Amino acid sequence: MKTVLSLELSLINYSVKGLGYGANLLMVRLGCKGEGEVFHSDELVARLRRIALQLRRDVLKMTTKAGSGHPGGSLSAADIITALYFHHLRHDPKNPKWEDRDRFILSKGHSCPVLYAALARCGYFPVEELWRLRKIGSMLQGHPDMLKTPGVEASTGNLGQGLSIGIGMALAARLDGKDYRVYVMLGDGELDEGQVWEAAMAASHFRLNNITAIVDYNGLQLDGFTEDIMSLEPLAEKWRAFGWHTIEIDGHNMRQILDALDMAVMVKGKPTAIIAHTVKGKGVSFMENRVEFHGKALTEEQLRKALEELRWEG
Amino acid sequence: MKTVLSLELSLINYSVKGLGYGANLLMVRLGCKGEGEVFHSDELVARLRRIALQLRRDVLKMTTKAGSGHPGGSLSAADIITALYFHHLRHDPKNPKWEDRDRFILSKGHSCPVLYAALARCGYFPVEELWRLRKIGSMLQGHPDMLKTPGVEASTGNLGQGLSIGIGMALAARLDGKDYRVYVMLGDGELDEGQVWEAAMAASHFRLNNITAIVDYNGLQLDGFTEDIMSLEPLAEKWRAFGWHTIEIDGHNMRQILDALDMAVMVKGKPTAIIAHTVKGKGVSFMENRVEFHGKALTEEQLRKALEELRWEG
Amino acid sequence: MREKAYTRDAYGRTLIELGRIRKEIVVLDADLSTSTRTAWFGREFPDRFFNFGVAEANMMSAAAGLASSGKIPFVSTFAVFATGRAYNQYRTSIAYPNLNVKIVATHSGISVGEDGPTHFCIEDIAIMRALPNTTVLVPADAVETEAAVKASVDHYGPVYIRLSRPKLPVIYEEGYRWRGEKLTFRIGGSVTLREGEDVTLVASGLMVSRALDAAEALAREGIEAAVIDLYSIKPIDRETLTEAARRTGAIVTCEEHNVCGGVGSAVAEVLVETVPVPMEMVGVKDTFAESGSMEDLLTKYGLTSKDIVEAAKRVIKRKS
Amino acid sequence: MREKAYTRDAYGRTLIELGRIRKEIVVLDADLSTSTRTAWFGREFPDRFFNFGVAEANMMSAAAGLASSGKIPFVSTFAVFATGRAYNQYRTSIAYPNLNVKIVATHSGISVGEDGPTHFCIEDIAIMRALPNTTVLVPADAVETEAAVKASVDHYGPVYIRLSRPKLPVIYEEGYRWRGEKLTFRIGGSVTLREGEDVTLVASGLMVSRALDAAEALAREGIEAAVIDLYSIKPIDRETLTEAARRTGAIVTCEEHNVCGGVGSAVAEVLVETVPVPMEMVGVKDTFAESGSMEDLLTKYGLTSKDIVEAAKRVIKRKS
Ligand SMILES: Cc1ncc(C[n+]2csc(CCOP(=O)(O)OP(=O)(O)O)c2C)c(N)n1
Ligand SMILES: Cc1ncc(C[n+]2csc(CCOP(=O)(O)OP(=O)(O)O)c2C)c(N)n1
Ligand SMILES: [Mg+2]
Ligand SMILES: [Mg+2]
């Protein structure tokens, strides 16, 4: 009963967002996959939301400690990263090179603080490492370095390359007859890069259904709003025209995130793009939607205020 | 009466091609522009078709003489290039640097033989130069060189750059309050290049309605059919999703070419893409749709046969 | 201690100053205009400023189109993107037809600091000077930056100007003077900041002030080092370099760049063809380095005045 | 007269041979597989061949993903696209994480001929060697190409191999022998093809056979020239080069590449730090050149054995 209700609520939710996701969900409900697999318990959602809060706190603490870094885009990605590392991905922090692991690539590499927080909280390395972010000799570089940091799958930071790297991994999986999946998170500003569209074209040409692109659509890039700098709309139509099954969700709604990730697994013959509508700086009132926190750490005073806001309220 | 008939025929033609262009044409017919400007006399069409034939002959002669070059994509582009240089473009072969001239950029630079033929036959330089193609000291380089060849607007040959260059020119026109227009011809294989999509995104973001992209959609790239190497469909939807007014035509139907070019002038607030369905090697039976003539000149024997086929039959 | 100032601030200011008199100047950036300071020009001349988003390749070729329509485009982003990310576009759209485009890149070298190796650029001098028709300039401080940017406008053709992220010690006096004397920034030129008979320190960019410090330290040990600010890497001041080699018989090059293909390499090319003398190259020793504070990095990767002093002593020992 | 053979044919054949034993080899091309000869591998192993269309950047980063999944990707296209068109992708996706990707580029230099400057590549050695973790190999003929490709597989890490469009004179005997003696292709190595006391000709790629011709011409005039086939530009054979400089006291470098930043530059970097001797650089003199037949171009742009002979005489005059 409760499940059904939450399901209905989800549907309403999707409809309210008007993102055309409801129909898809209905189709699933009509039998393609069992409910249990697609819809997630309140307990799970609560647990993940709590973890996401922790990651947000980590992000702000580590960047302030480092005196630099990119908190804004880390916070917009926090819920998705949480859903991936603490529920969806098949991985083993004790065995980062496990051959059958799912791969996650943070193509928008500047948001690595939230990736580092997730990896540390998962157990890839001690949490204390987070406080050495960006310091000389640290395993945590300003942008992801696959040689230095356990769990980092690709060296990124020059935007536009992650989806292509993911294609290579997805081709390798197919060649080796392995069923691992590849997830690539991109920024919306990053979508300005033509290489992303080269990759989008190739992934559908190669019929890679083991790769999922997640767009952190927070509406801001470095110099301002994407709408002003380089407008992307109609974004979903772009991905569809490039041959991708495309889902739009609220990227801070844990249930929608989990559902979309599950949905992507079921799509046959083509790759899936999840366009996650997010808020840059999400969770801290004075950071939300503010371009100045793209690449600037909080002051100690700001950090104190932010951490006050980032408290679990159930 | 005759005009109306030909107009109806055109409509039927478009409908038969099923390219959704008819509706557009109807709209025009309903008053946006006078018939005379949009529809072209039989005499004009015949004249242009005759010139296109001449250019085709030139292309084959000059590449065979050079012993190398790219005849296939030159022939697919011949009708469009003819329509541009011998009717549509505002230009002055005696004054190649005239500030108010329209600009044409051959982004698929390897097809320069047909551009060179057009420039020579227009009077930019003596026709005899054509026979020195690709020879040391010649003004006609293997790929377009804006410093060496009068009338060449941009140095191209590394695919993917022409539309971006065109954006620069279109921005300059706007800045200078000039009404010249910019035309860029791209190959279909060339559309694999992400830079084309960067440019597509930017042109619509900048609301450049003084730029027209023409895709020579001949279905072949260097290694084979685009469908096999890197599939592009749904191509029109891609351009539309990137914010372009998009028209599909038969790129060997002179009337459709002329109409589409006129149409593009009328579109407000966004750039226009003309997707021209063409045949690589068009006009020579044994070259049509054959990948091996992408980058190989005909032998003397093949040339003789080809020239026999390329005769004016009205 | 010298005062410090941002070379990119000087760039931003100079752009506005030039923009007022030269209406054909337009400015292009790829979503880094707040960092490169081209946003200042954008605020002053919104019509002549174009932000291309994160699309360096498109921006670079678009600059070609603007230039061939009579504009003087200044193209800016971080060095690693301004060069390597749009290299083929620069090569074919701009350098090959010798178009009048100025590329001013900030955040070169490893002094970028905490952002780490993905954002360093230790190869831009090598890759830009490898192309014909390309002028490569590396100003040493904010004052020289202004001079370089102005000189680039008076030169027809592609120019690459390499700037830094951090504040750099100010070496020159206002109006581009050295010890009171007015200098002229000349493409293909250099400034001899100090005379000396024992060894010549040939430095560029951020390393010039360090070379001056090194020269003073050497002087305290009785070694007289000449110091040249080699702000023009291409074309290169063959005359001054060969003369210095002839006089001092030993050269140390100092650059915040990979020692493969950079300033040291450009100087070596000249000397082996004219006056082959022993050289030592102070620079990044063919490593991507890592994240850290600027000073930590410059120390760990061998770019301090102490490193220059030691190289000078080594090279002097090798004199024949 | 030596026989001639395509280095890219040798590449195509060697790829298939290696593909049979090394199942982890995969091959990527960007719509030039008919020209690069990777299409041959594609016909033999269709599952392990990926054509990315005209999208070099995507191809390059995808190679990184394949490599990090345990594959050994060979990435091929023309040199101007393999290097400059995907430079930032190579830098950050591959060189920085030191991934096991082999880039084999054909159509380098100006011997491309009629296609002209947009398709030449006279800067690839400079730009590839400017990056850490990068091995740069330039085989001199078809036989050495096979050896280079095989050696690249036995070396973990990124390797760039530079090949040509035209047939090149075959220098080595089958099985990589020189005058009967079996050679070993060593990353960081070289082959001394001829001894001589008066001058050393250090050549790479297509220029090796021309250097041999030049040495014979010089011998006829009583000048004994040593000839080194410097097939490994990075790492570079410091020992052999310094030894040659010491013995002959004069060096001529010969490359089908811009003299800014290329082989001459790499050799100069070594010599100024070890045995500074007079050098002359035979190469493309910082120009984009033009379309024409290969021989017309090599003659007009100063890459004949005669040019080497003259350079040798000049440099000998400069010996102290
Ligand atoms: C190729 C490249 N160009 C420029 C940059 C500099 N840069 C870093 S972040 C950023 C803006 C990215 O915006 P977006 O992708 O929307 O990221 P988010 O909003 O999620 O932080 C830019 C331009 C870069 N890292 N890589
Ligand atoms: C950046 C770049 N990569 C590769 C090439 C080599 N190349 C020349 S033509 C061609 C195929 C182009 O196909 P298409 O655009 O469809 O041209 P068309 O069929 O009209 O000749 C390729 C890959 C190139 N010129 N530029
Ligand atoms: Mg964003
Ligand atoms: Mg085609």
pLDDT in tens, C113-125: 999 999 999 999 9
Residue owning tokens 């409908």: B15
Model confidence at C206, pLDDT cuts 50, 70, 90, reads: very high
pLDDT per residue over A82-130, tens digit each? 999 999 999 999 999 999 999 999 999 999 999 999 999 999 999 999 9
Q: Is residue B73 included in any domain, yes or no?
A: yes
Cβ atoms of C155 and C135 within 8 Å: the answer is: yes
Secondary structure (3-state) at D62: helix
User: Phi-psi category of C205—alpha, beta or left, where left has phi over 0 and alpha has psi -120 to 50?
Assistant: left
Q: How far is the CA of B190 from the centre of ligand 2 (A)?
A: 6
pLDDT per residue over C7-49, tens digit each? 999 999 999 999 999 999 999 999 999 999 999 999 999 999 9
Residue C238 has pLDDT above 80, yes or no: yes
Token pair for B4: 């109306």
Residue whose CA is at the smallest distance from ligand 2 atom 18: B73
User: Residues of B with CB below 8 A from A234's CB?
Assistant: 241
Mutate to test the interface with B, among C92, C94, C101, C133 (most CBs of B within 10 A): C92
Instruction: Give the whole-angstrom CA distance, residue B225 versus residue D194.
Output: 50
State which H helix or E strand residue D240 sits in. Answer: helix D238-248
Average the pLDDT over B150-164 and give the result. 98
Q: Which of B69, B157, B189 sits opposite D53 (nearest CB)?
A: B189
To the nearest whole Å, the CA of A93 is away from the closest chain B CA by 36
Secondary structure (3-state) at A242: coil
Q: Which residues of B174-192 are buried (b: 16+ CB within 10 A; e: fewer)?
A: bbeeeebbbbbbbbbbbbb
Q: Is B126 exposed, middle or buried (0-12, 13-18, 19+ CB in 10 A)?
A: exposed
Q: Is residue B9 included in any domain, yes or no?
A: no
- Looking at residue C102, its pLDDT comes to 99
CB contact A57 to C (< 8 Å): no
Cβ atoms of C112 and C66 within 8 Å: the answer is: no
State the DSSP code for B220.
B
- Looking at residue D178, its pLDDT comes to 98
Q: How far is the CA of C66 from the centre of ligand 1 (A)?
A: 25
pLDDT per residue over B188-232, tens digit each? 999 999 999 999 999 999 999 999 999 999 999 999 999 999 999
Instruction: Give the whole-angstrom CA distance, residue C243 versus residue C200.
Output: 10
Q: How far is the CA of D107 from the centre of ligand 2 (A)?
A: 15
Instruction: Give the whole-angstrom CA distance, residue D150 versus residue D137.
Output: 12
- Terminal C-alpha separation, chain C: 36
Q: Is B23 exposed, middle or buried (0-12, 13-18, 19+ CB in 10 A)?
A: exposed
- Looking at residue D320, its pLDDT comes to 79
All residues with CB under 5 Å from ion ligand 3: A 187-189, 218, 220
Residue owning tokens 């120009």: D287
Cβ atoms of D145 and D139 within 8 Å: the answer is: yes
User: Residues of D with CB below 8 A from C312's CB?
Assistant: none
Residue B21 has pLDDT above 60, yes or no: no
- Looking at residue C320, its pLDDT comes to 79
Domain with CATH 3.40.50.920 in chain C: 188-319
To the nearest whole Å, the CA of B125 is away from the closest chain D CA by 19
State the DSSP code for B147.
T
Average the pLDDT over B143-171 and give the result. 98
Residue among B164, B221, B235 to mutate when testing ligand 2 (max atoms within 8 A of CB): B221
Model confidence at B6, pLDDT cuts 50, 70, 90, reads: very low
Q: How far is the CA of A278 from the centre of ligand 3 (A)?
A: 9
Secondary structure (3-state) at A223: coil
Secondary structure (3-state) at C281: strand
Mutate to test the interface with D, among A98, A141, A155, A210 (most CBs of D within 10 A): A155
Contact C288 D126 (CB under 8 A): no
The pTM score is 0.95
pLDDT per residue over D180-228, tens digit each? 999 999 999 999 999 999 999 999 999 999 999 999 999 999 999 999 9
Residue A9 has pLDDT above 60, yes or no: no
Average the pLDDT over A212-229 and give the result. 98
pLDDT per residue over A238-265, tens digit each? 999 999 999 999 999 999 999 999 999 9
Model confidence at A38, pLDDT cuts 50, 70, 90, reads: low
Q: Does residue D235 have a cis bond before it (omega within 30 degrees)?
A: yes
Model confidence at B39, pLDDT cuts 50, 70, 90, reads: confident
- Looking at residue A313, its pLDDT comes to 82
Class in CATH terms, C4-169 = alpha beta
State the DSSP code for B29.
I
- Looking at residue B38, its pLDDT comes to 52
Cβ atoms of A189 and A168 within 8 Å: the answer is: no
**Closest ligand to Cα A111:** 1
To the nearest whole Å, the CA of D192 is away from the closest chain C CA by 22
- Looking at residue A17, its pLDDT comes to 32
Beta strands in A57-170 (DSSP E): 103-106
Instruction: Give the whole-angstrom CA distance, residue A216 versus residue A250.
Output: 10
Mean pLDDT, rounded, of chain D: 98
| Residues lining ligand 1, Cβ inside 6 A | A 72-73, 76, 108, 110-111, 157-160, 187-190, 216, 218, 220-222, 280, 294; C 31-32, 54, 81, 85
Reference D55, options B278, C84, B231, B105; nearest CA is B231
Residue B37 has pLDDT above 70, yes or no: no
Residue whose CA is at the smallest distance from ligand 1 atom 7: A222
CB contact C39 to A (< 8 Å): yes
Instruction: Give the whole-angstrom CA distance, residue C33 versus residue A223.
Output: 7
Residue A6 has pLDDT above 80, yes or no: no
Secondary structure (3-state) at A314: coil
| Residues lining ligand 2, Cβ inside 6 A | B 72-73, 76, 108, 110-111, 157-160, 187-190, 216, 218, 220-222, 280, 294; D 31-32, 54, 81, 85
Average the pLDDT over A41-49 and give the result. 97
Q: Which of A136, A148, A229 sits opposite C31 (nearest CB)?
A: A229
Residue among A75, A158, A159 to mutate when testing ligand 1 (max atoms within 8 A of CB): A159
Nearest CA in chain C to B171: C66
Q: Is residue A262 included in any domain, yes or no?
A: yes
pLDDT per residue over B121-156, tens digit each? 999 999 999 999 999 999 999 999 999 999 999 999
Residue owning tokens 């060296």: A155
- A-facing residues of D in 41-80 (CB < 8 A) are 47-48, 50, 52-53, 55, 57-71, 73
- Terminal C-alpha separation, chain D: 36
Which residues of C are annotated as catalytic? Answer: 56
Model confidence at A136, pLDDT cuts 50, 70, 90, reads: very high
Q: Does residue A234 have a cis bond before it (omega within 30 degrees)?
A: yes
Average the pLDDT over A172-200 and give the result. 98
Mutate to test the interface with A, among D47, D54, D58 (most CBs of A within 10 A): D58
pLDDT per residue over C266-287, tens digit each? 999 999 999 999 999 999 999 9
Provide the domain limits for residue B263: 47-309
Q: Does residue C235 have a cis bond before it (omega within 30 degrees)?
A: yes
Reference B187, options B98, B122, B275; nearest CA is B275
To the nearest whole Å, the CA of B16 is away from the closest chain D CA by 31
Count of pairs with CB atoms under 8 A, one residue in A, one in D: 103
Q: Does residue B234 have a cis bond before it (omega within 30 degrees)?
A: yes
Q: How far is the CA of B166 from the centre of ligand 4 (A)?
A: 20
- Looking at residue A32, its pLDDT comes to 45
CATH of the domain at B273: 3.40.50.970
What was the ipTM of the complex prediction? 0.96
Domains: count for chain B: 1
Contact B142 D300 (CB under 8 A): no
pLDDT per residue over D10-42, tens digit each? 999 999 999 999 999 999 999 999 999 999 999
Q: How far is the CA of D38 from the centre of ligand 4 (A)?
A: 21
CATH number of D188-319: 3.40.50.920
State which H helix or E strand residue D206 sits in. Answer: none
Cβ atoms of A168 and D69 within 8 Å: the answer is: yes
Instruction: Give the whole-angstrom CA distance, residue D8 versus residue C54.
Output: 37
Instruction: Give the whole-angstrom CA distance, residue A114 versus residue A252.
Output: 14
Average the pLDDT over B92-118 and give the result. 98
Domain with CATH 3.40.50.970 in chain C: 4-169
Residue whose CA is at the smallest distance from ligand 2 atom 25: B158
pLDDT per residue over D249-286, tens digit each? 999 999 999 999 999 999 999 999 999 999 999 999 99
Residue C139 has pLDDT above 50, yes or no: yes
CB contact B198 to D (< 8 Å): no
Reference D206, options D316, D113, D103, D101; nearest CA is D113
Q: How far is the CA of A218 from the centre of ligand 1 (A)?
A: 12
Instruction: Give the whole-angstrom CA distance, residue C172 versus residue C170.
Output: 6
Chain centroid, CA D8 distance in Å: 12
Residue among A59, A70, A79, A108 to mutate when testing ligand 1 (max atoms within 8 A of CB): A108
**Closest ligand to Cα A162:** 1
